Amino acid sequence: MKSEELRGLQAPLKEKYREDPQQAVITLQAEGTIGEGVTCNVKTGKALVEAGLHPATGGTGMAACSGDMLLEALVACAGVTLKAVATSLEIELRGGTITAEGDLDFRGTLGVSKEAPVGFSDIRLKFDLDTDASEEQLATLLRLTDRYCVVKQTISNPTNVDVLHSVTK
């Protein structure tokens, strides 16, 4: 996609959102159903994913781990954002790899230690890019990718999560 094509797609949306900011507020939704054993079946836009326990918490490794899914969502969002920003700035990317890795202390989630955190203590996001962009262009590209990556910003600046429930009998 060329820069002008992307701008052409986004320009009417940006104008609409400037004129009526409420039009820009959209609620995304994910849904899962309780599966067999200790699993949850999650519908994605393209497939059904069975999420389960990580082997470090007693899982078999046959079901997707939600921690892995979080890192995959970060990589996907960062990759799409990076490509959109590069397109907008007319920075040619011949290819590249985005890697996310995170450190978990499973004592926290298993209740073994109250001092151990539940969740990732550190996440590293690495870009290995094939480009002739200058150092200044790369710095701008990465700064804007960081700024506009929804998943990265949500992880870095956590939002309030309301936990609601209902019971069917």
Q: Is 161 exposed, middle or buried (0-12, 13-18, 19+ CB in 10 A)?
A: exposed
The token pair that represents 4 in the structure block: 């002008």
Exposure b/e, 104-136, CB count within 10 A at least 16 = b: bbbebbeeeeeeeeeebeebebebebeeebeee
In the chain, the amino acid numbered 148 is Y
Going along the chain from its start, the domains and CATH numbers come out as: 3-156 (3.30.300.20)
Q: What is the model's pTM?
A: 0.85
Angle value at C-alpha 87, between 73 and 25, nearest 5 degrees: 55
141 close to 93: Cβ distance less than 8 angstroms: no
How far is the C-alpha of 34 from the C-alpha of 38, rounded, in Å? 8
- Pairing of β 48-52 and β 64-65: parallel
Report residue 169 as tokens: 């009998």
> Tens-digit pLDDT profile for the chain (169 aa)?
888 998 898 999 999 999 998 988 888 777 778 777 777 888 887 888 899 989 999 888 899 999 999 999 999 999 999 999 999 999 999 999 999 999 999 999 899 889 988 989 999 999 999 999 999 999 999 999 999 999 999 999 989 999 999 998 8
Count the alpha carbons within 13 Å of 31 in the hemisphere toward its beta carbon.
Answer: 2
